[in-house]
Structure 1
């Protein structure tokens, strides 16, 4: 089993879990005046790191990544949505679609992780 692949799968699962929490929070705050929807950024950061276009870390105390396994999900306020009269920009249809897409993403990650561990089990037999 390739530790690098397993580590990336675990990081992706963590990102998916964070996304679930974030979308759930957005839905819970759909009627909260002034609330701004949040989004989890992970896949684009991973892509940048794998392409070598991400922010490079030159010191251990600096932000950035040295390789794909350094990538961590982060939550950011979402822009671009229409803001209601109360200052809230949560679009419930968008959130429900995001929830559904994340569920499919999570299930695929679980399947891939399970396959990785099944390969390890077969090698150890």
Structure 2
């Protein structure tokens, strides 16, 4: 069962990221007309790079494989303070946010499909392969 739990943990971690990203994007869109509101984004790549740069113990079955089993990573939400697109100091680009929302939805749906596949595989094993 270790295979399934590790896979489910990874998928859950991805779903946590997608949910936070969706909430952040929706908040940006909701505040598109709010004076001095600054757009926020979830930092995924920065967190991953930070973990890779600090180094962590991995278990490998091949010298080129990594085992990313550190589940303590918390995603960070960063506020973009460097730009202002609107005259009121707001920097939300609604077209960019809608594009990000669509991309995140595709990512989320892919994770759900993968998780459903894992449940179907588990169900098949329980039923004896039939």
Superposition TM-score tier, normalisation by shorter sequence: 0.7 to 0.9
The whole-number CA distance in structure 1 between the counterparts of 2:80 and 2:101 is 15
Q: Which residue of 2 is the match for residue 29 of structure 1?
A: 31
Match of 1:116 in 2: 118
Which digits, 9 at most, give the CA deviation of each residue in 1:30-66, with x for residues without a partner? 01011000001235524653xx32476xxxxxxxxx9
Could you list the per-position Cα deviations for residues 77-125 of structure 1 after superposition, in whole angstroms to 9, with x for gaps in the alignment? 1255444321111001100100110110111010111111111111122
Query: How many matched pairs?
Result: 114
CA change 1:83–1:5 in 2 (3 A) is: same
1:6 positional shift: 1.1
The answer for unaligned runs of 5 or more in structure 1 is 57-65
Q: Which has the larger radius of gyration?
A: 2
RMSD: 2.3
Q: Calculate the TM-score normalised by the size of structure 2.
A: 0.75
Partner SS, residue 115 of structure 2? helix
Evaluate the alpha carbon distance shift between residue 9 and residue 73 of structure 1 in structure 2; reply closer, same or farther with a 3 A threshold: same
Q: Give the gaps of 5 or more residues in structure 2.
A: 57-67
Query: What are the residue-to-residue correspondences of 1:26-105 with 2, within 5 Å?
Result: 26-46=28-48, 48-49=50-51, 52-54=52-54, 67-105=69-107
Secondary structure of the corresponding residue to residue 53 of structure 1: helix
How many angstroms does 1:72 deviate by? 2.5
1:30–1:90: 8 Å Cα contact kept in structure 2?
yes
